[in-house]
Amino acid sequence: MAFGWIDEQAELRRRAGLVRTLRPRPADSPLLDLASNDYLGLARHPEVAEGAVRAARTWGAGATGSRLVTGTTELHAALERELAAFCGFEAALVFSSGYAANLAAVTALAPHGTLVVSDAGNHASLIDGCRLARGTTQVVAHADPEAVRKALATHDGPAVAVSDTVFSVDGDAAPLAALAAACREHGAGLVVDDAHGLGVLGEGGRGAPHAAGLAGADDVVATVTLSKSLGSQGGAVLGPARVVDHLVNAARTFIFDTGLAPAAAGSALAALTLLRREPQRAARAREVAADLYARLTALGLEAVRPHAAVVAVRAPSPEGAVRWAADCRAAGLSVGCFRPPSVPDGISRLRLTARADLSGDQIERAVRVIGETRP
Ligand code: PMP
């Protein structure tokens, strides 16, 4: 039977208790949300939602074509100018998702003959970028600039190192300054994915490259998503203008993809405007993360010290993590759950997001539920 092997895989997943299902979220969910990536609480902010409505009314519901044909509006250009200015880069290019932005950055900057040095903890979209790139990838130990230096030393020719700035599973940080130093020693480029840094790290949320003094450097490229702190949807690559021009001409996920929907561009731009006006939101998200971490570890739970707004709590097993998240849910708390195959064996986690708009009472309630339901 066609696709017969699918049933065998499904049966294995069922037996292991690891079936994934989609659960539609009601508009007025009663659950306390520590699962979404809405770090600054902007996805439902009236000004951000209004940015989407205004954009859709002016420019239409969809972009109507690829960016190089009809899919670039003045709104896309304005968003690109503002993203670059806010994060401190020369230029920016917007994509329909952060995933597409990462595929673009890695594939277009690592043609045949290029060595790509990739952190073992990188996000799936960077990994897929490496898989699609014509260059050769070498995966190196997690957050280890010395391993990057050694890998670069083995190669004669163009090279690029790629790393998340904040790793999506554990919320730990990449040693950006040391990575940049290793790259510079070897004349290599550095591509960093700041999906979890934008809006949370750096002055007023300008991101991890800005905080590390790397924004605007001619050998550093950053990718971001518009779908986390900015509460919208889409992604972008930030870097020197010559890199952005190159992506316009060479990145397949830019050239062959329909442009970002105007509503998404409009709400992202509104979110950036708000973030400039209310820079304290970034620091508050970090404060909530530190508070969550302190309270959870005080209960004897094992958590990873957070660097941004992601707080990872160790679970005893994949099944234990799934059950723990379900028990939290039954008690009114929505938390993320990471387990194989999303993460390697032995790394199952509850993944909590520290939203800037959580109140002290909500933080207390969340910690109580997590403690009471621990496996
Ligand atoms: N990079 C990282 C580190 C992420 O966590 C994500 C989102 N899960 C992405 C890239 C992809 O971004 P988007 O959701 O906008 O496609």
| Cis upstream peptide for 341 (omega within 30°) | yes
96 CA to middle of ligand 1, Å? Answer: 12
**98 within ligand 1 shell (Cβ under 6 A):** yes
Please give the domain boundaries of the chain with CATH numbers for all domains: 28-43+279-372 (3.90.1150.10), 46-277 (3.40.640.10)
User: Which ligand 1 atom sits closest to the C-alpha of 234?
Assistant: 15
Q: What is the pLDDT of residue 343?
A: 79
pLDDT band for 341, please (50, 70, 90 cuts): confident
Q: What average pLDDT does this structure show over 230-257?
A: 98
What number does the ligand 1 atom closest to the CA of 122 have?
A: 3
Return the pLDDT at 35. Answer: 97
- Cα–Cα distance measured from residue 313 to residue 300, given in angstroms and rounded to the nearest whole number: 11
| Structure confidence at residue 134 (pLDDT) | 98
Judge if the beta carbon of residue 197 lies within 6 A of ligand 1: no
Could you give the CA distance from residue 117 to residue 134 in angstroms, rounded to a whole number? 13
* pLDDT over 90 (residue 193): yes
Q: Which of 9-23, 278-292, 300-314 has the lowest mean pLDDT?
A: 9-23
Average pLDDT, the chain: 96
Strands 333-338 and 349-353: antiparallel
Q: What is the pLDDT of residue 116?
A: 98
Residue nearest (by alpha carbon) to ligand 1 atom 12 = 98
Looking at residues 255-263, what average pLDDT do you find?
98
Contact of 168 with 146, CB cutoff 8 Å: no
Q: Where are the alpha helices (DSSP H) in 251-374?
A: 252-255, 262-277, 280-298, 318-330, 360-372
Mean pLDDT value of segment 88-92? 98
CB-ligand 1 contact for 227 (6 Å cutoff): yes
Residue 243 tokens, joined:
């890199």
Ligand 1 centroid to Cα of residue 4, in Å, is 32
Instruction: Using the structure block, give the residue that is written with the tokens 């520290």.
Output: 354
Closest CA relative to residue 288, chosen from 313, 306, 312, 314: 306
Confidence grade of residue 124 (pLDDT, cut at 50, 70, 90)? very high
**Pocket lining: 223 vs ligand 1, CB cutoff 6 Å:** no
Whether ipTM exceeds 0.90: yes
CA distances from 72 to 37, 147, 162, 260, 333 (A): 27, 41, 28, 9, 41
pLDDT tens sequence across 32-60: 999 999 999 999 999 999 999 999 999 99
Can you give the pLDDT at residue 344? Answer: 77
Say yes or no to pLDDT of 173 above 90.
yes
pLDDT at res. 236: 99
SS3 at position 24 = coil
Structure confidence at residue 19 (pLDDT)? 85
Percent of the chain whose predicted confidence (pLDDT) is above 70: 100
- Which whole-number Å values give the CA distances from 31 to 21, 28, 40, 257, 366, in the listed order? 18, 9, 18, 35, 11
